[in-house]
Structure 1
Amino acid sequence: MTEPTAASRKDDHLRLAAEQQPGIRAARTAFDDVTVRHHALSGISPKQVDLGVDVGPWRFPAPFYVNGMTGGTEKARALNRTLAQAAARAGVPMASGSVGIALDDPSTVETFTVIRQENPHGIVLANIGAGRSVDDARRAVELLAADGLQLHVNAVQETVMPEGSRDFSGWLGLIEQIAAALDDDGVPLVVKEVGFGLSARTLTQLRDAGVRLVDVAGTGGTDFARIENDRRDPVEDLSYLSAAAGFGLSTPAALLDAASLPSAVRHDLTVLASGGVRHPLDVMRCLALGARAVGVAGGFLSVALEHPDDDGATLATVMESWREQLVALHALFGAPSPTEFTGVDVVVTGDTADIVRAQTPSKEQM
């Protein structure tokens, strides 16, 4: 079997992620276990709502952003162009896909730099994977003239990936080094999962390593374990860790786990959320469970792929609609701002409630 190149792997990821999206929209997910309780006389005027929210040193105009997706190929360049154009039109922050391929192969640089070219004044985050060095982190930020860096942890994906690295022993130490170096540089760092969830224990480790911005990025969206198995030889490797599909913490479960942290730890962290966010109602659920802002990938990916040649206009219209719907939801539930949405009444049922009830307390919580 011919060894896949890094570029072909990126196109595989993009194709297989797109194929997963219709099922995500149609299926019931863990978000449907979360109900924001309705009180008929709690509403306020939409004019009283301000969707702006502080995330680290930034002021997001609304509590959602375009999460990191792709780069490294011509198809990815075209997609990043559309995403960046839409983000610029709508004033929505955007993260790139992992720029590790561009650090290793300069011929792919333009598939990422198109983001800053098309969005010269917006908030842009570069993205690299755990296991990279301080030098790589700084190069990634410089490459995009980025306002900050996402550093993704993807041990499950690497384990299932045919060509993945399976030595994770140095990751936490490297993250600590990067956090310290970027803090010295005045560059914010966000550590995120890629769809398997960050547990309370992991959040505590990250906080102790100097990380202050985290994205729990749970299951329910693009499943990279499933993607990596779909990339395997259908005869030779069909059964390789196939049970890992669906592995991990859902986004609501991860947010509830984060809320269980000791107050001293929780106080030091700004928690973001992503993973399977289908519509503004899911954004609202994340806010109610304690997220400061919410990353969206799959839902925006589908629109961008369907309208590749309109300079991001259709996707920007979708983003504006999300903003309008969030204003309406804030007014309905009596929350003048996203940070005040954490005060609404929430009911958690189904598998998510069972998981939260059944989880074993960490040593720090006992």
Structure 2
Amino acid sequence: MSADDRRAARKDDHVRLAEQQQNEAAPRTDFDDLEFVHHALAGISADQVDVSVQVDRWRWPTPFYVNGMTGGTEKTARINTELAIAARETGLPIACGSISVALDEPSTASGFTVIRKENPDGFVMANLGAGRSAEDAVRAVDLLQADALQLHLNAVQETAMPEGSRDFSAWARSVEQIVAASPVPVIAKEVGFGLSRSTLTLLGDLGVTIADVSGKGGTDFLRIENARSSGEAVVDYSVLTGFGQSALACLLDAPSGGPVLLASGGVRNPYDVVKALAAGAHAVGVAGVFLKAVLTGGADTLVPLVRGWLEQTTALLALLGAASPAELIRTDLLVRGTLGEFCRLRGIDLIRLSHRSEIHQRLSNDR
């Protein structure tokens, strides 16, 4: 098998194994450890709610988006086509999967450019891995006429990947160079293992203004790479199962004054979206649930699902008394279980989180 054939097989394997994970019984995650304090008279009319969000310089019509998944083969091109159609019909921002294969093998580019073809006026994000050159970043943006560039940090996945890199020493410099060269804003993102407080601080120092914390709990690329290498690899990296932090852990532990935060990783429903927004995300990325819908029935299945999510998100904000996603930062949060233990170990003030509405009201009265 040629190198090109192996790369294509890897792309299709990623989709197949991700689909298998989506069909498994959903495990308990940190999203289940976050609760809202219910205030029975705090609600507003759903007609007062505007679910659009401000993300850096952009105004997105929806508080969630299609996160980067795939591209580069005939099968994944069909998936990207359906995702792009659904994004066009619903206003969702959309990211492609890693575009590196198209930069190295131009014959595969149509599997990515179909996103812009089907969604000519939508918000589109290109996707590239840290370690690629600044020139590659510019080419990636140009290829999709992208509005932003997702720059993924996937050291854990690379470690488990049979053909992956084991040298991450130049990644910080790569990030800095790409940020400086990119004609559009760069969104640094993990691929399911979380961005820690110190990493977010460093990213800010490197010029990154937006970061997707992309925590554990969703599609597990460690498991995917282990499954791909089963029977071939000498080292079994399943010892790292559970490695990293969840999206909520990263959001609650994030530094003040750091990059604008997006969140993804294990988002199962609109309630998880609302929880991530309340924990500090400006918008929320969704991959696995949307991929499953597309594989089930294409855009015809995904479009009504997205519209249902938007309707339920609106209703949840009305219930919580938030006229916009940004106002969720005033809601009172109870943090329990493993997420609560993480917060205690990291010195996060859980009492303050549970009294945010009172604190906000007191500050408003003092003005």
Divergent runs of 4+, >3 A? 1-4
Give 2:357's aligned residue.
none
Give 1:188's aligned residue.
185
- Counterpart of 1:35 in 2: which secondary structure? strand
Q: Does 1:163 align with 2:163?
A: yes
One-letter identity of the residue aligned with 2:18: A
Deviation track 1:202-243 (CA, whole Å, cap 9, x = no partner) reads: 000000001000000000000001100000132x43752211
Give 2:31's aligned residue.
31
Give 2:336's aligned residue.
349
Give 1:294's aligned residue.
284
Change in CA separation of 1:355 and 1:298 when aligned onto 2, cut-off 3 Å: same
- Could you tell me how far 1:27 is from its partner in structure 2? 2.1
Whole-angstrom distance in 2 between the partners of 1:313 and 1:59:
26
Q: Quick check: 1:232–1:238 contact (8 Å CA) kept in 2?
A: no
Q: Does 1:122 align with 2:115?
A: no
Q: Quick check: 1:229–1:238 contact (8 Å CA) kept in 2?
A: no
Whole-angstrom distance in 2 between the partners of 1:207 and 1:306:
40
Whole-angstrom distance in 2 between the partners of 1:212 and 1:239:
37
Whole-angstrom distance in 2 between the partners of 1:250 and 1:104:
33
- Counterpart of 1:14 in 2: which secondary structure? helix
TM-score (normalised: structure 2): 0.92
Whole-angstrom distance in 2 between the partners of 1:284 and 1:360:
24
Give 1:245's aligned residue.
241
Q: Does 1:87 align with 2:87?
A: yes
Q: Quick check: 2:216–2:245 contact (8 Å CA) kept in 1?
A: yes
- Could you tell me how far 1:290 is from its partner in structure 2? 0.5
One-letter identity of the residue aligned with 1:329: L
Whole-angstrom distance in 2 between the partners of 1:40 and 1:20:
38
- Counterpart of 2:59 in 1: which secondary structure? strand
Whole-angstrom distance in 2 between the partners of 1:330 and 1:217:
23
- Could you tell me how far 1:36 is from its partner in structure 2? 1.3
TM-score (normalised: structure 1): 0.92
One-letter identity of the residue aligned with 2:19: A
Q: How many residues were matched structurally?
A: 347
Whole-angstrom distance in 2 between the partners of 1:359 and 1:156:
22
The percentage of counterpart residues that share the same residue type is: 56
Q: Quick check: 1:89–1:313 contact (8 Å CA) kept in 2?
A: no
Q: Quick check: 1:287–1:342 contact (8 Å CA) kept in 2?
A: yes
- Counterpart of 1:222 in 2: which secondary structure? coil
Structure with the larger RCO, 1 or 2 (CA within 8 Å, 6+ apart): 1
- Could you tell me how far 1:313 is from its partner in structure 2? 2.5
- Counterpart of 2:128 in 1: which secondary structure? strand
One-letter identity of the residue aligned with 2:103: L
Query: Unaligned 5+ residue runs, structure 2?
Result: 349-367
- Counterpart of 2:150 in 1: which secondary structure? strand
Q: Quick check: 2:141–2:149 contact (8 Å CA) kept in 1?
A: yes
- Pick which of 156-165 and 238-247 moved more: 238-247
Query: Unaligned 5+ residue runs, structure 1?
Result: 362-366
Whole-angstrom distance in 1 between the partners of 2:159 and 2:234:
15
Give 2:230's aligned residue.
233
One-letter identity of the residue aligned with 1:130: A
- Counterpart of 2:23 in 1: which secondary structure? helix
Q: Quick check: 1:226–1:244 contact (8 Å CA) kept in 2?
A: no
Q: Quick check: 2:200–2:258 contact (8 Å CA) kept in 1?
A: no
Q: Quick check: 1:33–1:349 contact (8 Å CA) kept in 2?
A: yes
Name which of 263, 266, 271 aligns with 1:281: 271
Give 1:364's aligned residue.
none
